[in-house]
Amino acid sequence: MLRRLLRRVSGTTVFMWLIGIAMLVVVVWGVYATLSSGRYKASDWIDLTVYGIAQGSVYALIALGYTLVYGILRMINFAHSEVFMSGPFIGYFVAMALSQSGFFNRQPFVSLIIVLLVAMTVSTTIAVLLERIAYRPLRRAPRLVPLITAIGASYFLQYTFLGLFGSGIKGYPEVAQLKGYWPFPGTSSGILRTQAVVIVSAFVMLAILYVFVQRTKTGKAMQAVSEDKDAAALMGIDVDRIIVITFVVGGALAGAAGVLYALLFKQVKFDMGFLPGIKAFTAAVLGGIGNVNGAMLGSLFLGISESLFPNLVLDGLGLPAPYQLKDALAFIMLVAVLIFRPTGILGERLAVKKA
């Protein structure tokens, strides 16, 4: 009996489970140590969680771009982080022009909507161009080829923006109405106004997308194509058109995410896409890549844990300056998810391999 068990369980499996257990122990120990030290008040945790939700809702908008494209093309659109970056970047110039004319101060919300629309248009254009020029010719190529192309396109776009517009950090003009807090009634904590605006707008857009994918004819066609491209084509669905629409939707959401991100962190820069991009991808994987609901859930989960983790776990372990390892957490979660549950939280099993 033991012999049969040994034949099935390889050394690598054991090794992986050991890593998993070690990680779990570290997390539990850290949480316990932090909570028992009583260093943080309840309001601290609420602030961190709100911050995490704001961050996570931005990730959700980006993650949808990854997940939709992956669902349909089975390809990681590595350049999606640059689609995300390009919108708010051009939006910045529009905002500055509006600000100089004085319109921005008179009508800040109208201006923001204009900036948002410009950013969505730019990101969509970049996404569609990417698909047309770089990905479409490679649709039948071996898997690694489009991935390498996407990596190349990502760096090309990043450094083209650097060359065109310079390396300086660009800040959006301040909106007076968005400064300060809205307190939660009955508590000592509150929510930053920008955070509230970001969370609400993100959720509105997510809701619109959800309805689009689930209810409209085009959305259903997208689902069909992601299920089986060839069968969908036989059913009379124009696969090329659906793929373009997927990039349009992903691009528009990424552009919007970019503006919200810029509001939250008050800066745009040519390399601002890399980290949110990879984190959003992590979130998409976390939720089960190809799964729209999963991407939203995974993003919120990642946003919140990223915000809580340094204080909750690392602080308890006595690490100096734990916030430095905040970004490492996203990567560790990515690695851990892919190792232990590659299908993600809500992921359906990836199509059974055919012999």
Asked if 151 touches another protein (CB under 8 A), the answer is yes
What part of residues 73-102 is at the interface with another protein (CB under 8 A)?
75-76, 93
Nearer to another protein, 63 or 206 (CB): 63
Long-range contacts of 336-343 (CB under 8 A, 24+ apart): 336/20, 336/23, 337/282, 337/285, 337/286, 338/285, 339/16, 339/19, 339/20, 340/16, 340/20, 342/285, 343/288
> Which residue's CB is nearer to another protein, number 15 or number 182?
15
55, 81, 124, 154: residue in contact with another protein (rule CB under 8 A): 154
Tokens of 43: 């309001």
Rounded to whole angstroms, the Cα distance separating 271 from 91 reads 16
d(Cα 150, Cα 135) in Å, to the nearest integer? 8
Contacting residue, 46, 129, 147, 244, with another protein by CB under 8 A = 147
**Binding residue (CB under 8 A) for another protein from 25, 110, 113, 141:** 141
By 3-state DSSP, what share of the chain in percent is helix, strand and coil, each rounded to 5? 75, 0, 20
Q: Tell me if 64 contacts another protein by CB under 8 A.
A: no
> What does the alpha-carbon distance between residue 349 and residue 346 come to, in Å, rounded to a whole number?
9
Q: Tokens 């970001």 map to which residue?
A: 198
Report how far residue 308's alpha carbon sits from residue 228's, in angstroms, rounded to the nearest whole number.
40
Alpha-carbon gap, residue 327 to 308, rounded angstroms = 12
By CB under 8 A, the residues from 258 to 297 that bind another protein are 278, 281-282, 285
Residue 111 CB, nearest approach to another protein (Å): 18
Q: Please pick, from the candidates 43, 107, 160, 214, the single residue that binds another protein as defined by CB under 8 A.
A: 160
d(CA 101, CA 197): 25
Instruction: Please tell me the distance from the alpha carbon of residue 61 to that of residue 148, in angstroms, as a whole number.
Output: 24
Q: Closest approach of Cβ 334 to another protein, in Å?
A: 5
The piece of 5-13, 101-109, 206-214, 219-227 that touches another protein (CB under 8 A) is 5-13
To another protein, the closest distance from the beta carbon of 152 in angstroms equals 3
Give the x/- contact pattern for another protein in 294-323, rule: CB under 8 A: -------------------------xxx--
Q: Tell me the window of 135-143, 189-197, 245-253, 259-267 that interacts with another protein (CB under 8 A).
A: 135-143
The answer to whether the beta carbons of residues 63 and 298 sit under 8 Å apart is yes
Choice from 158, 201, 226, 307 touching another protein (CB under 8 A): 158
> Quick one: which segment of 41-49, 172-180, 212-220, 330-338 binds another protein (CB under 8 A)?
330-338
d(CA 115, CA 123) in angstroms, rounded, equals 12
Any contact of residue 42 with another protein (CB under 8 A)? no
Q: Supply 318's token pair.
A: 């006595």
- For another protein, the binding residues (CB under 8 A) are 4, 7-8, 10, 12, 15-16, 19, 75-76, 93, 134, 137-138, 141, 143-149, 151-160, 162-166, 278, 281-282, 285, 319-321, 324-325, 327-328, 330-332, 334-335, 338-339, 342, 352-353, 355
